[in-house]
Copies of this chain bind each other. A is one copy, B any other.
Amino acid sequence: MSIDSRVGISRRTLLGTAALLPATVASLRPISALAQPVAPGSALPSWNEGAAKQAILDFVRATTDPSSPNHVPPEDRIAVFDQDGTLWVEQPVYTQVVYCLDRVPAVVAKKPELKSVEPFKTVLSGNREAIAKLPMRDLEKILAATLSGMSVEEFRDEAKKWIEAAQHPRWKRPYTDLVYQPMLEVLRYMRDNGYKTYIATGGGQDFVRVYAERVYGIIPEQVVGTAGATKYGYGKDGKPFLTKEPKLLLNNNNAGKPEGIYFMIGRRPNAAFGNSIGDREMLEWTGAGGGARLEMLVLHDDAAREYAYGPAQGLPDSRVGTFTPALYDESRKKGWTVISMKNDWRRIFAFD
């Protein structure tokens, strides 16, 4: 009698089971005891050794090691990530603003009366310098006009088509190529260790949801962003649909970030990643919880490989993603970790 038949399992079954194991382990992220630990050296290959990389490794070990006093049960592990300037390039203009500017001709075609009205007139002129100088209240008018008035499916289809075709002016590549490889590794590393990864963006929730799963591996319900209301109604065929309304429901910036995270997730994250003053309250609120905490800020100090901006380093200020001196002071006082793109990242993009 073979061992196989004694234990009541045929060799075929055994091999079948063994063959399934890799898939099984990968799917078992929430059960840390079974998860295949990633060797610390291999988890974040695009990171240089240093305080930033070490802070991530230390935090994950402290919260996932069952013998750690700061162990967090898998179901409570939540990490939130700002998008613009934290997960992908935000210069020279937020990608979603480029999308909205590109949509203006289509909006004016439907509403010709806007043709001679500001700020639409300026956008249609194609005068880049004038467009760049449009004040915030004009940008808001453009956002409202281009992000509402259509069904949620129409919006999704338009945005998807655009994001697949549009190119960044500097790299001549799709914007979705301009995600930071080191941060993709952090997202994956956190998930491999049982963390649910959320995007908490000041950008449009609907816009980011269009590509977040493909680009970041983050499903729609794990994208928290600035969101407008929708309105339920019926088409001529009696079929119900939702229309995007020009009414702000959630302004997911500054204090709106912890408010939005609480609203959508219902609990405080354990880890938060940002890059600007708009992420301050998210990091503060994350940091105010008990146990081990991780708060990180990406500093754009690499003009050669990406951009250098932000007054905290005496670098030029910017319309986007401002890393202010006050934020820098607070990060030092509270022990938040600043990630220097120049020093901490071996590689910036996957195509590097």
Identify the A interface with B (CB < 8 A). Answer: 2-4, 7, 9, 11, 14-15, 17-18, 20-21, 23-24, 27-28, 30-31, 34, 75, 152, 205-206, 209, 219-221, 223, 227, 229-232, 239-242, 249-250, 255-256, 258-259, 262-267, 281, 284-285, 288
Which of B249, B250, B281 lies in contact with A232, CB distance below 8 A?
B281
B266 with A209: CB separation less than 8 A: yes
Give the chain B neighbours of A265 by CB distance below 8 A: 220-221
Report Cα–Cα, A249/B228, bound state, in Å.
11
Which residue of B is nearest A237, CB measured?
A: B288
A242 with B262: CB separation less than 8 A: yes
B31 with A27: CB separation less than 8 A: yes
Report 5 cross-chain contacts, Cβ distance below 8 Å, ordered by A residue: A2-B3, A7-B11, A14-B14, A221-B221, A221-B266
Which of B3, B31, B256, B285 lies in contact with A23, CB distance below 8 A?
B31
Report Cα–Cα, A296/B21, bound state, in Å.
38
A205 to chain B, nearest CB (A): 8
Report Cα–Cα, A229/B263, bound state, in Å.
8
A14 with B23: CB separation less than 8 A: no
A7 to chain B, nearest CB (A): 7
Does more than half of chain A's interface fall in helix, strand or loop, or is it mixed?
Answer: helix
Report Cα–Cα, A264/B220, bound state, in Å.
9
Known: A7-B18, A230-B259, A242-B258. 18 other contacts (CB 8 A): A7-B15, A14-B14, A17-B18, A23-B31, A27-B27, A27-B28, A27-B30, A27-B31, A28-B28, A220-B266, A221-B267, A223-B266, A230-B262, A232-B258, A240-B284, A241-B288, A242-B259, A249-B263
A14 with B7: CB separation less than 8 A: yes
A259 with B229: CB separation less than 8 A: yes
B14 with A239: CB separation less than 8 A: no
A11 with B3: CB separation less than 8 A: yes
Report Cα–Cα, A265/B230, bound state, in Å.
13
Report Cα–Cα, A262/B244, bound state, in Å.
11
Which of B18, B258, B267 lies in contact with A220, CB distance below 8 A?
B267
Most buried by B among A23, A34, A220, A263: A263
Give the chain B neighbours of A34 by CB distance below 8 A: 20, 23-24
